[in-house]
Amino acid sequence: MFLFLFIGAFIGSDLRYLESLIFKTNNGFPLGTLIANLSGALILPFLIHYLQDRYNLSSRVVLTLSTGVLGSYTTFSTFTADTYHLYLTGQWWFLFVYLTITIVGGFGLAILGNYWAATRAFNDYARRRRGRRL
């Protein structure tokens, strides 16, 4: 099991590093971390509530994708380090924006991910029901 987590964490951390290179800013705003954490907040509930049920994923696959890939792709430690850096450098506006978007936006995207999963599951169910009536 640890080997699968290791492989997932390797993939997630590489994706996270690539994203930090793509979304590097000159003004000190941690855009790469913000995008990683928000996209993870959207994808994790969808993974758990739709993909796991729809494709009968094993607990090993779900753990590898959620804890391994998404756990290393999203990063609370970098979020706190970035927040502290904005605080130390007196970038109060960036600090406020970063905290607000990360916390409120992450929560909102998690709700959206759950809604997305429920909508997809309902649509799949409705398609299967229509197919049986024909």
Closest C-alpha among 1, 29, 50 to residue 9: 1
71 is an annotated ligand-binding site residue: yes
Closest C-alpha among 18, 8, 78 to residue 44: 8
Note the residue count of the chain: 134
8 Å CB contact between 14 and 33 = no
- Burial class of residue 117, CB neighbours in 10 A (0-12, 13-18, 19+): buried
68 is an annotated ligand-binding site residue: no
Strand segments, DSSP code E, in the chain are none
Annotated binding site: 71, 74
Annotated binding site for Na(+): 71, 74
